[in-house]
Amino acid sequence: MGIVILESMISRFLEKNIQANWGRGKAILVLGPRQVGKTTLLKGIAAAKGPYLYLNCDDGLIAKQLEGHTLGKLQALLGKNKVVLVDEAQRVHNIGLSLKLIIDEMPDVQLLVSGSSALELANQINEPLTGRKWEYHLYPISFAEWVQHHSTLDGLRQLPNRLIYGMYPDILNHPGSEISRLEQLCSSNLYKDLLSFGGIRKPQLLDDLLRALAYQIGNEVSYNELSRTLGVDKKTVIQYIQLLEQAFVIFRLPPYSHNHRNEISTNRKIYFLDNGLRNALIGDFKPVDLRNDVGALWENFLISEKLKNMAYKSNAGRLYFWRTKNQQEVDLVHECNGTITAYEIKWDPNRKIKSNKTFLNFYPNTPINLINPETFLDFLIE
């Protein structure tokens, strides 16, 4: 029997950021993939402040009222409530205009807004709420959040499962039915926003592209090669990858370069936000000791977890990889406040780091840290 993890009980690191900006005259906007706990988080924060109005825009009647764009209609809808949670805001046409009216004309109201990637894909938010919002991204539960709630021992015991099944709350909450739930998550939710708002004209191409990317995690991605493989022009490949990134399915890692000789500066590495989604796309849920891609899964897991941790911190820096044309490489480079730290990622704890003289010549006094299953806790839990 696996460990049952109740997502509603886990303290999310993002809550502190939201609390710090409460009551400062702006809307609090939380975007992220579907089913990562945005509603649970915002409901918990709102309830702790007292009575609040919950507007679920999946309800067509509520969505219609929020489309009014007149102050009188909005005042009637909100009544005397001082805390208002607008959930699934992407369901409302031109929701940004209504939120702008509430912020400008009802300054004593604290707005909380949750939305999927469709809000940004349809550009409904950014322009109307310029200077009027605190925007945050919420991701699947992070390993650090999970360990804080349980223990490092539980984390170490469950690590192989997390490499295969990922960190979505529904997956963590239902050990034993991970495969069916991941397949359902992929089929019903993964593309929903893209197909509705992203200008996707070839859904099958989206499937083919995602599977191609799933087999290339940890490798540099050539847009030209993907274009030839998929039989479409390079421009379309780039457009679809950008949309997948906006939809919180994948993320790109750029190369680190200060224009030293032989450093590459154009290619990208592409990772999946969640290991479970990646494995569902290729239909491979074999345990780690039976896989030939465990190194890639380990790299994807660590870098996606680092991305989550950085998203919940201010001024957390940026992530890169480093490589030369002669195939010398460093798996991960973290730059923050002008200081860089390098990491080599190895699944086998017996693997040692080879001295990378070229990197150290270019970037002297830069530590290169080995991250393996025996050392990763310090990397992910600060």
171 vs 178: CA distance, rounded Å: 5
Residue 256 domain flag: yes
Please report whether residue 262 resides in a domain.
yes
| pLDDT for the residue numbered 4 | 40
Residue 1 domain flag:
no
Element (H, E) at 96: helix 95-105
pLDDT digits (tens, 9 = 90+) for 307-357: 999 999 877 899 999 988 888 899 999 999 989 999 999 999 888 888 788
pLDDT score of 86: 96
- Tell me: do 369 and 269 sit in the same domain: yes
User: 2 lies in a domain?
Assistant: no
Residues 15/142, Cβ–Cβ less than 8 Å: no
**C-alpha distance from residue 70 to each of 45, 67, 80, 187 (Å):** 28, 9, 17, 38
In a domain, 338, yes or no: yes
Predicted local distance difference test score (pLDDT) of residue 42 = 97
- Distance separating the N- and C-terminal Cα atoms of the chain: 29
The residue out of 137, 171, 203 marking a domain boundary is: 137
Domain range for residue 14?
A: 7-137
Rounded to an integer, what distance in angstroms lies between the CA atom of residue 69 and that of residue 32? Answer: 25
* CA 169/CA 276 separation, integer angstroms: 11
Instruction: Check residue 69 and give its pLDDT.
Output: 76
Query: Which CATH number does the domain housing residue 91 bear?
Result: 3.40.50.300
* Domains held by the chain: number: 2
The pLDDT value given to residue 3:
40
Residue at which a domain ends, from 82, 102, 137: 137
Claim to verify: residue 113 and residue 231 sit in the same structural domain: no
Please give the pLDDT value at position 328.
86
Angle at which helices 95-105 and 71-78 cross, to 10°:
80
Could you tell me the mean pLDDT of each successive run of 10 residues in the chain, 382 residues long?
A: 49 95 94 92 96 95 88 94 94 89 96 81 72 94 94 93 97 95 83 69 86 92 92 92 89 86 76 96 96 97 96 88 88 93 94 86 91 94 78
